[in-house]
């Protein structure tokens, strides 16, 4: 895996690449596969976890027009935005309060299926009491049933969306009294 880091509004964004592919858009012919943000919030790990799995919190930093979160393996997640639609996800892995992984559909109102899904993973670690590091990774862009330009657009959109979300999530943690 190779990666490039660039500054973003929320700190450091990592765009990473896996494997070799002919005609890829990354360095050395590798396809861009995903984005990763790592940041810290002023919150104990249990409260930081609640920001990811409690719908009222998810609406504050991500799915502004509604969220349903069933944070158990096989559970369903639904994120809604009036301007984008409803996006459906299926939970693959939960290790509360340390890890949440789900597959999310890339089209409104569509189930996540091979060629039309990415994987989102949140990993949390307590840095010191009352402060939590969160790493969010969205990958699988290179496996989407899109041409190179479509995958580049998807990757750019993911980077912009997560950058904005990290800013809002950090702000939520700073303003939340617990």
| Coil, strand or helix at 6 | strand
Cis peptide before 97 (omega within 30 of 0): yes
pTM of the model: 0.85
**Whether 57 contacts 67, CB under 8 Å:** no
**Whether 33 contacts 50, CB under 8 Å:** no
List, for residues 33-80, the tens digit of each pLDDT value: 899 999 999 999 999 999 999 999 999 999 999 999 999 999 999 999
pLDDT of residue 24: 40
Question: How far apart, in whole angstroms, are the C-alpha atoms of residue 99 and residue 160?
Answer: 23
Domains, the chain, in order of start with CATH, read 2-175 (3.30.530.20)
Determine the average pLDDT of the residues in 103-110: 97
List, for residues 146-169, the tens digit of each pLDDT value: 999 999 899 989 989 999 999 999
């Amino acid at each position: 895996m190779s990666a490039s880091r660039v500054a973003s509004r929320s700190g450091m964004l990592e765009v990473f690449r896996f494997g070799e592919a002919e005609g890829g858009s990354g360095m050395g012919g590798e396809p861009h596969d995903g984005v990763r943000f790592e940041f810290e919030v002023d919150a104990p790990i249990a409260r930081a976890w609640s920001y990811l799995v409690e719908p009222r919190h998810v609406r504050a930093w991500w799915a502004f027009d509604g969220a349903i979160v069933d944070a158990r393996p096989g559970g369903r997640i639904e994120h809604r935005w009036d301007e984008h639609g409803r996006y459906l996800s299926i939970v693959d892995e939960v290790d509360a309060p340390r890890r949440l992984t789900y597959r999310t559909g890339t089209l409104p109102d569509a189930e996540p299926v091979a060629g039309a899904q990415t994987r989102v993973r949140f990993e949390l670690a307590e840095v010191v009491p009352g402060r939590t590091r969160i790493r969010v990774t969205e990958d699988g862009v290179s496996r989407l049933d899109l041409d190179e330009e479509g995958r580049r657009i998807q990757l750019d959109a993911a980077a912009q969306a997560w950058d904005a979300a990290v800013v809002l999530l950090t702000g939520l943690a700073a303003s939340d009294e617990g």
